[in-house]
A = this chain, B = another copy of it.
Amino acid sequence: MNAPHEVSLVADDARRSALLAGLAKILPDAALLWKPEDTVPYECDGLAAYRQVPMAVALPDNEDQVCAILRLCHSLQVPVVPRGAGTSLSGGAMPIATGLVLSLAKFKRIVSVDVRSRTAVVQPGVRNLAISEAAAQYNLYYAPDPSSQIACTIGGNVSENSGGVHCLKYGLTVHNVLRVRAVTMEGDVVEFGSEAPDAPGLDLLAAVIGSEGMLAVVTEVSVKLIPKPQLAQVIMASFDDVAKGGNAVADVIGAGIIPAGLEMMDKPATAAVEEFVRAGYDLDAAAILLCESDGTPEEVAEEVERMSEVLRASGASRIQVSQSEPERLRFWSGRKNAFPAAGRISPDYYCMDGTIPRKHIGTLLKRIEEMERKYGLRCMNVFHAGDGNMHPLILFDGADQDEWHRAELFGSDILESCVELGGTVTGEHGVGVEKLNSMCVQFSAQERDLFFGVKAAFDPARLLNPDKAIPTLARCAEYGRMHVKRGLLPHPDLPRF
């Protein structure tokens, strides 16, 4: 079956004219971009290695416009890629050459904050951090906090089911969103979930959350707000060996403690970060753990003491506890700026997103050390240790074809190890275009069929963000052949710089 966007260029020209003419009736001039100089900035998201200039970009500012745009595209069979802030790390918002990018950037209104029910209703273009800022006056906040929270928007968070350093204790986006209002590819407004505890009917809220823009275009989101803890303190624990630090993570959780955050960075990561943001990290340590506790002052004091005991027993060589809110934020600022820091010390970096059972963190880190020698490339490790969600950053120079090839093999090797240790090849960054092949390994043909079936229920014409997130049968068959031939997980679609 050919996807509708794989038609000939002749037809495309006619469709392009019809599309632009139709959009001009729906949107004011300033909200419709079609000249190359205007559309080029939309050619990629945070995974810059995949680039494609779209036919046009629409910037509606109300739901009626979204409905009209989708109806128009549906009638013209034009594929649509919804876009939030474009911070996706897996190419989820990568445009299609013959398609429209539908930006929700103008949906910036915080519709309401209800203190009694501890909820907020927001438009999809509201930045993640802006929700907590609006709720701060009531001493409430929105818990999921991706590292990109200054820039990323709640619509994108919903599409990718974003996490963050606090999701170990407070959950992912799916645990903090109560209701989503959205428009289907055919232009119908639908709602999923409710602010009541249990709505009748099939619960499709979770299916829409994390669906990477394939099911419907989000136009409004109701989120949970939670009371700001009276106090939060973060422990910085140093280890003289990465495996010891990794094992300490399992020890903390195994002791029955669920820290508000539990992150790990190795020496290459702290060194790169420290130069950049002066977070106050222990630069002598082979690895540091950041362990946050929040609650009442009594609860925090007790938990910090218990965690410190466990960390010492696990071999921490030094323990430092933040003594003020500015110091706590400084400790976190390093973690949150680790990716940009990698960009400062290497021409290119390739960020992996595997998950493994916590008990194997030490093992994987040791293996990565060996791989660094094997491939002659450096790797920074920064990750959500509490969740076992690893972000090895392989540093390389994309201009050097050989380095690039070695980086590719290095990445494949890490992912193979994740799977072998009982984990998955992607945690929180989404599948997008980047990890389509890995999905062939993760899911059976029957399970992938169910995904396509649900996709078809929402979008039978396959026009909404098509060819993302779920690999076709043909692709998986091809991948299976390659896998057998090469004897390792290949990445034929890996970024080419």
Chain A residues at the B interface, C-beta cutoff of 8 Å? 116, 161, 163, 167-168, 172, 174-175, 184, 188-191, 194, 196-207, 209-211, 215, 227, 250, 253-254, 256, 298, 355, 357, 359, 387-389, 423-428, 430-431, 435, 438-439, 442-444, 446-447, 450-458, 469-470
Contacts and interface: CB of A to CB of B under 8 A. Distances in A.
Nearest to A448: B201
23 contacts: A116-B254, A161-B203, A163-B197, A163-B198, A167-B197, A172-B197, A188-B446, A189-B446, A194-B424, A196-B357, A196-B388, A200-B424, A201-B442, A201-B443, A201-B470, A202-B454, A203-B209, A203-B210, A204-B207, A204-B454, A205-B206, A453-B453, A454-B454
A175 B447 CA distance: 22
A205, A256, A426, A457 pick with most chain B CB within 10 angstroms: A457
A147 to B, nearest CB: 16
A427 B389 contact: no
A428 B201 contact: no
Contact of A201 (B198, B298, B451): B451
Given A174-B203, A454-B457, 20 more contacts: A116-B250, A116-B359, A188-B444, A188-B446, A190-B446, A196-B357, A197-B428, A198-B210, A198-B355, A199-B424, A201-B443, A201-B451, A201-B470, A202-B210, A202-B454, A204-B207, A207-B454, A298-B298, A453-B456, A456-B457
Count the copies: 2
Contacts of A359: 116
A450 B388 contact: no
Contacts of A453: 453-454, 456-458
A161 B256 contact: no
